[in-house]
Amino acid sequence: MEIYFLGTNAGVPTLLRNVTSVALRLLEERRCFWMFDCGEGTQHQVLRSPLRLGKLEKLFITHLHGDHIFGLPGLLSSRAYQGGTAPLAVYGPPGLKSFIELSMSVSQSRIPYKLEVVEHTGGLIFEDDQFKVEAALLEHRIDSYGYRVTEKDRPGSLNAELLRSYGLKPGPQYGVLKSGRDVTLEDGTVIKATEVLSAPKKGRIVTVLGDTRPCGNTVPLAHEADLLIHEATFKHELAKMAHEYYHSTTIQAAEAAKEAGARQLILTHFSSRYGPLDELLPLLDEARTVFPNTLLAEEFRLFPVMTD
């Protein structure tokens, strides 16, 4: 499980940074990736990355401001040309479906794969045997949501040496034991799964927030998350401006991570007033005074989601 940033700027693209888009790579877990937001030019960013649109399984939109959705029509219409024939599910606030349908209709674009658009107003929006995704409303000029992705606990590892001592070789019975069920051998010997299987591996939690100023749902969404991705549009000296524009400062993002008990914080959605990396470093230093385990989002860089 890894995070890959495709766009980290707020409002408009610049020569240094594109507008918002974040990929959650799940290559080992699902052989795919999920995307959060799709600002203008996102498909160009994908072309410059190791990601392939054919592997895009789910796309989550935080809110309907242009810097978060203007790349969506182009990406959806060209996905098939990059091998994207598998179904794609897109989740987001009410209005998302009409935006997509109108864009595709007016441009006479054809989508040759199954596209499911799921509009929501928060709550549990997806769950299967591996993951669940929950959403909650934040505080922005329009409805903006944060997403909490929870990986379910995974089975522990089998003790191969102990299994060999029973004369058991890799095969279907390994799968039975891996699922937590006991196995009875031909001689009547019962191999208990609890004796050959280590403790379950705790699933990871990633929280991706849309644009927001400090609000009540931030901390519950990020509660004990292994990674929190939080906007930090301004330095804290511009806290008044941040509040007026419904955005957050570095200190506010760090305070949210600290209160939530998150393990790591990555700042993103930087104002265009901040140029190259050396102008962003003061934002990082500021956040670290409150939450030391903070990083700056960087486009085309992988961030592993760690459990420790």
Name the active-site residue from 37, 67, 143, 226: 67
- Residue 226 annotated in active site: no
230 in a labelled binding site: no
Cα 176 to Cα 150, 173, 188, 194, distances in angstroms: 25, 5, 16, 12
140 in a labelled binding site: yes
Q: Is 83 left (phi over 0), alpha (psi -120 to 50) or beta?
A: left
67 in a labelled binding site: yes
CB burial string 88-112: b at 16+ within 10 A, e below? bbbbbbeebeebbeebbeeeeeeee
Residue with tokens 């590892």: 157
63 in a labelled binding site: yes
65 in a labelled binding site: yes
Q: Which residue, among 202, 210, 258, has the nearest Cα to 63 in the 3D structure?
A: 210
153 in a labelled binding site: no
120 in a labelled binding site: no
**Alpha carbons 164 and 235: distance in angstroms, whole number:** 59
Binding site for Zn(2+), residues? 63, 65, 67-68, 140, 211, 269
Provide the annotated active-site residues: 67
